[in-house]
């Protein structure tokens, strides 16, 4: 989709005059364009278009020191503070990657990283610098925000190194073919080898085998949960996430929180302490190192799921939107080779 830049820039300026606190993502939706298209109208001023091998750029992120990483989908936002460490890429050519440090924990799907920008936003505290990356349809896949203590000189060096010669104010976008942006069509249950699927489920040795099973039997994720062996999945109230977080906070149960975009899954492992509601809509975790924002009206279904592993069953609370797209996955903190925390198991089992 190609937008007349000057017109779009003027529309955005007019919109901000009436709603000065409007976030860019919400402004893009109101104007009927993507976030990347709207951001590009600022190229030449406080936005710089980037280019190059994104994997090579990411490998230099440890130079920044302390940062805040943000990954979101339509209804859930994951913000994690810390330093980049233990970065690796695999597949060809570098189509997947991971960051597995104690603070920043990411799974990267580089086929969805198409556009990148260095952004400087004006805030009451001063300029706020970030690197922002987008899928081909202009939807954000991941953002990295510098903090006061970050190495700003290293940031400036990397921006100069990866600066695109094209600093035009128009960003051309288009549809993506990686499953992002729409639900996967389900085949009828009657066409599924349900008995074979259930037997394969019971034979899992690792939670990652679940994705292989879905592809093997041609199932969407929520269809797989509906057809799971008895006792291995059950639907619970959409208020369960709030109940779970409040209980985990009160009982000091460390958990894992997974929130993903088309190009990144971001993970928090550890405690959740400060659980707050903003109105009746937003459920939040507001801790020093981790923030989560969940728009509860977007949660159409919540499931408790158990997957067999060599270390015993692994239990999750999984939230989905009306299209069957996953919003958030919650697990108990667990290391390979060890069973999950029985307190987490009891908490998950208590949800109804």
- Domain locations in the chain? 5-97+107-161, 189-269+297-350
| pLDDT greater than 70 at residue 3 | no
| pLDDT greater than 60 at residue 180 | no
Distances (CA, A) of 175 to 16, 73, 135, 180: 28, 17, 9, 9
- Give the global pTM: 0.94
Give the pLDDT confidence score for residue 305 in this predicted structure. Answer: 98
144 vs 215: CA distance, rounded Å: 32
Length of the chain: 352
The 8-class DSSP code of residue 112 comes to G
For the chain, percent of residues with pLDDT exceeding 70: 96
**Are the beta carbons of 305 and 201 closer than 8 angstroms?**
no
Task: Give tens-digit pLDDT for 237-253.
Answer: 999 999 999 999 999 99
For the chain, percent of residues with pLDDT exceeding 90: 91
* Contacting residues for 191 by C-beta, under 8 A, at least 6 apart: none
Architecture of domain 189-269+297-350: 3-Layer(aba) Sandwich (3.40)
**Are the beta carbons of 299 and 306 closer than 8 angstroms?**
no
Which CATH code for domain 5-97+107-161? 3.40.1570.10
76 vs 298: CA distance, rounded Å: 9
Give the pLDDT confidence score for residue 1 in this predicted structure. Answer: 44
Task: Give tens-digit pLDDT for 148-171.
Answer: 999 999 999 999 999 999 999 999
Give the pLDDT confidence score for residue 335 in this predicted structure. Answer: 85
């Amino acid at each position: 989709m190609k937008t007349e830049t000057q017109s779009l820039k003027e529309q955005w300026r007019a919109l901000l005059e009436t709603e000065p606190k409007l976030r860019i993502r919400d402004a893009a939706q109101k104007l009927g364009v993507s976030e990347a298209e709207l951001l590009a109208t600022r190229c030449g001023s406080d936005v710089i278009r980037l280019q190059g091998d994104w994997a090579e750029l990411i490998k230099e992120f440890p130079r920044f020191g302390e940062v805040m990483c943000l990954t979101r989908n339509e209804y859930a936002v994951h913000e994690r503070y810390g330093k980049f460490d233990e970065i690796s890429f695999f597949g060809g050519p570098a189509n997947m990657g991971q960051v597995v440090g104690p603070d920043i924990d990411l799974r990267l799907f580089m086929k969805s990283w198409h556009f990148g920008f260095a952004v400087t936003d004006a805030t009451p505290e001063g300029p706020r610098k970030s690197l922002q990356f987008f899928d081909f349809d202009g939807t954000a896949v991941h953002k990295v925000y510098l903090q006061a203590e970050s190495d700003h000189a290293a940031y400036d060096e990397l921006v100069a190194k990866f600066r695109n010669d094209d600093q035009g104010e128009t960003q051309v976008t288009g549809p993506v073919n990686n499953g992002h942006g729409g639900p996967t069509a389900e085949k009828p249950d009657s066409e599924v080898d349900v008995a074979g699927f259930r037997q394969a489920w019971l034979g899992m040795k690792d939670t990652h085998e679940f994705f292989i099973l879905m592809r093997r039997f041609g199932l969407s994720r929520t269809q797989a949960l509906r057809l799971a062996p008895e006792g291995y999945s059950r639907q619970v109230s959409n208020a369960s996430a709030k109940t779970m977080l409040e209980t985990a906070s009160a009982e000091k149960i460390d958990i894992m929180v997974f929130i993903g975009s088309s190009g990144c899954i971001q993970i928090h492992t550890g405690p959740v302490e400060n659980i707050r509601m903003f109105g009746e809509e937003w459920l939040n975790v507001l801790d020093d190192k981790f923030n989560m924002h969940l728009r509860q009206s977007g949660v159409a279904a919540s499931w408790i799921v158990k997957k067999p592993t060599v270390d015993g069953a692994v239990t999750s609370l999984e939230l989905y939107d009306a299209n069957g797209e996953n919003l958030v996955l919650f697990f108990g903190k667990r290391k390979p080779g060890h069973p999950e925390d029985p307190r987490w198991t009891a908490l998950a089992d208590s949800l109804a």
